[in-house]
Structure 1
Amino acid sequence: MHSLPIFVALKGRPVILIGSGPAADTKRRLLERAGATIVGEDATAALAIVADGDEAAAARLQARGVLVNVTDRPELCDFTLPAIVDRDPVLIAIGTGGASAGLAKALRQRIESLLPTTLGTLATALHAARPRIRARWPAADDRRHAIDAALAGPLDPLGDTGDVDTWLQAPVAIAETGLVHLRPRSADPDDLTLREARLLGRADRIYHRSDAPAAILDRARADAERIICVTPPATLPVGLSIDLEIL
């Protein structure tokens, strides 16, 4: 990765904005949507956007330790601003490291067409139900597996959004556990089937050969254990384990 994507809570926090004209107006609207307090160069702030290409101003701010974005000058930027898909409170950010804002926009438009407007409602309902979810599945692994199963079924975020209350009151099938032998047909992650991608995203641990493609392993949960071996052990920990081998 060329940079680490993060979401910064800006509500009520100062952000320096330098410049005027259409580019500055666009950045101002974006900052206002995020709840930031827009201030001038002399103010104290952790972030700044230079919308008029003023290299000297950018250098002065960086010398003060301020993280700076310079519009259309990625080589001068400490951070870049992504294209955003907003399904509040769900946010999807698409960045190219400043390589092509047009490409990021095209991807945003494609993703916009895939995501239902009810996605934010589902996220809000799941957040409100957290105490009941914890009560029903006290163990963290059981809770994660149950939510995974729901989001692959009755609460499918890309389908007709289900009702969280109905889900909690119904018998729920726990997501697949035990050992699953996964044999993707190529080293290209684009060739993964939907089931293979979902299993990688849910697995607690992945047993794989030393030559397993990094691009496939990167599709697994970030906190999933990755164990290099020829054959998984006979006795496995509780949860979902994957024996991964590329055909």
Structure 2
Amino acid sequence: MSDRRFQPVGIIDIGSNSVRFVAYGGAPRVPTNLFNEKITAALGKGLAKNGALDEVAVARTLEALARYRRLAREMGLKKIHTVATAAVREASNGPAFLKQVTALGLKPRLLSGAEEAELAGLGVISAIPRANGVVADLGGGSLELVGVARDAAGEGVSLPLGVLRIGAEPDRKALRNQIAEGLQGTRLGSAARGHSLYLVGGSFRALGQLDLRSSGHPLPIVHQHVLRPSGSRRSGPWSPGRAPPN
């Protein structure tokens, strides 16, 4: 039997809120997580106000990327895939930032909104074979929605509704209207009807962790945890600095 293992590879994800470096190795279907580190850079913090990446956040991000590049070299990684998403894509100083990233010895690829949505869908399919419904990936700068069925990702959309943009107390009516407008002309509504909604991203993970704690779940594992609408309403208001509701 042939050895289907692959050479370790590094992936750097420059998000609108966090920047993550992961190294994988082992079997292609079930790769082993060799290293995983992230920082909260908040690149997209000032995007809604002035349309540019925050200067302090840029400096913080470049410092982290230089460290990740050194770590990858020490690990002997032959391939490093670096991707950037919504904040860099939409910022007026995004191209200049990418040049700075390139100067560090990395080769950043700027993903389109459709590519972000597709990759989110493929990630869910990889973890949950035969997933059927809609994937929602909530980041700092955008919300990606994509239909998944029969081990394939369908059409997807990217909406400018990331957590850094909408703030702590968003206008719910305005949000609903933006989502409705973004879904016009798509088949995502029919893809979701009667099927599952797969939640991806740190904000959704926090929601899952809240539900685990408030329900007294015996296992603190949020991956593939199922949220019920009644359960999420039961959780009520809570912050990490306080004890969860009973």
Q: Give the TM-score category using the shorter length.
A: under 0.3
Give the TM-score normalised by the residue count of structure 2.
0.26
Considering only CA atoms, is the larger Rg found in Structure 1 or Structure 2? 1
Q: More strand by proportion, 1 or 2?
A: 2
What TM-score, normalized by structure 1, do the two folds share?
Answer: 0.26
